[in-house]
Amino acid sequence: MTHDALWYAEVALKLGMKEASPMNLRVCRRLGQIEYKRLLNVANISPPANMEQFQTVFDIGRQVFVPDFMSLEIAYPVKNLLQIHVLECFAHRGMEKAGQLAEYECGIFERIFGWFDAMNLNYTIKPDLTRCLKFKGRDCIVTFRFQF
């Protein structure tokens, strides 16, 4: 994550946030796609066909890819629904410290979208993540509804 933060800061400094933020989103999504395809291959796991399988595969990915310093809660409140509540966000903290939070777009969830791409999942998401939810004064709670 340190390399990521340093790279992002250099790009933002050189090109500005208007260029750096969309680049970061594309990179994060592609990273998610690559790392999850590799995980599925190494673990010899097929993409999930239902929510129960998804929960198992998603939990394996969380154990492998989500660092300890990411404080979040995962819930499955109803059928085919995943809710992620980010309690403490390193990206929010870092962008706030750098004075760039107003222009930051969340790369953390873009990476998760990449995971879902790798698993060929169809889903909808709420709310809109165009800007950091914490910056908007909201709790960072994102809900995914899957269509299996």
- Tens digits of residue pLDDT in 2-59: 667 777 777 878 898 888 889 989 999 999 999 999 999 999 999 999 999 999 999 9
CB-based contact 43:60 (threshold 8 Å): yes
Q: What local confidence, expressed as pLDDT, does residue 69 receive?
A: 82
Q: At what angle do helices 17-42 and 107-118 cross, to 10 degrees?
A: 40
Rg (CA), the chain: 15
pLDDT higher than threshold 70 for residue 136: yes
- Could you tell me what percent of the chain has a pLDDT over 70? 97
| pLDDT per residue as tens digits for the range 65-97 | 998 888 899 999 999 999 999 998 777 787 788
Q: Which of 57-66, 84-93, 110-119, 121-130 has the lowest mean pLDDT?
A: 84-93
CA distance 109 to 28: 9
pLDDT value at position 1?
60
Burial of 123 (0-12, 13-18, 19+ CB in 10 A): middle
Q: How confident is the model at residue 104 (pLDDT cuts 50, 70, 90)?
A: confident
Among positive and negative, which fits the CA dihedral 30, 36, 42, 46? negative
Average pLDDT (127-134) is: 85
- For the chain, domains (ranges, CATH) are 2-146 (3.90.1520)
